[in-house]
Amino acid sequence: MSNTETSPTRPRIGFAGMGTMGAYMALNLARAGFPVTIWNRTPGKGADALEAGAVWINSPRELAAASDIVVTCLTDSPQVEEVLFGPDGLAEGFTAGNLLIDCSTISPTKSVEFAQRLASLDVGAVDAPVSGGSEGARLATLSIMVGGDDVDVARAMPVLSAMGKSITHLGPVGAGQWAKAVNQVILAGTYLGVAEGVTLALKAGLDAEKVISALIGGAADSWVLKNRAGRMIDNDYPLGFKLELHRKDLGIGLGLADEVGADLPVATLAADFEDTLLADGHGGDDNAALARMIRRRSGLDG
């Protein structure tokens, strides 16, 4: 069987959210042989998934009715709640035994709340936020952080495996979102560290690209160094993951830090820098645009 043919034994997958990440994730599910239907608030997206055999559905309710498992990849908690429980939402189309896999990055508290509301319909729920940017979504190499009970996670695993490479079950519903908050906090510091190093190399008159090549594989190596240092050198930030979305995610992380009494000075600084960049109209840039602030403060054009 070719990788684009569907198997009658595979669950029917609905996918809501054809953004930068979701469109690739739905495409990879179709390529893996799942019967896939897709929906997006704005029509006209998901063309590659449709070409690979996915079918367009006109509402979340219809998407749920046509699916055994629904994957959501949406912007934030309010959007997830609206698609789930709003008029013509997924909850209106779910039947007992359906499963929700939410790959959005939202508040863990909201994940738990949504799962409890779905449980009253006998619908399972797994929170499975992802990391790896548009590259990881396109290549199906995402890191996926999973929260949910063992039975639901086991059922979700074949679907997650078609979209990601590193899949970790971290605990009950909400645990995936807690881990994603940790991920975004660490990324904030990594972006700032790489930006400072790139800026120092440029100010010193070094060949910054050669410096980065020398560092890759050493103690300073990271995904950001490999994949985003070049953008910081060029001061050009084509979209991979929007800065405005990372700021939203950092807000979740900083809120959770307040809840548990953790002091996160680096993440707080990154959030302040991102607020300035948002005010300057850079919210749609890739998150590597944090380097604009370091360049600006160092007398380079930012």
Angle at 233 between CA 231 and CA 237, to 5 degrees: 25
For 159-198, give one letter per residue: b (16+ CB within 10 A) or e.
bbebbbeebebbebbbbbbbbbbebbbbbbbbbbbbbebb
Q: Tell me, rounded to whole angstroms, the distance of Cα 261 from its chain centroid.
A: 26
Short-list 230, 251, 250, 255, CA closest to 240: 230
User: Is 180 one of the catalytic residues?
Assistant: yes
Cα 209 from Cα 274, distance rounded (Å): 25
Q: Are 146 and 168 in contact (CB under 8 A)?
A: yes
Cα 110 from Cα 77, distance rounded (Å): 7
Catalytic residue among 45, 110, 165, 180: 180
Burial of 251 (0-12, 13-18, 19+ CB in 10 A): middle
The phi-psi region of residue 294 (left if phi > 0; otherwise alpha if psi is between -120 and 50; otherwise beta) is: alpha
Strands, E assignment, 159-276:
164-171
Could you give the C-alpha distances from 280 to 50, 186, 271, in angstroms and in order? Answer: 37, 24, 14
Which residues are known to be catalytic? 180
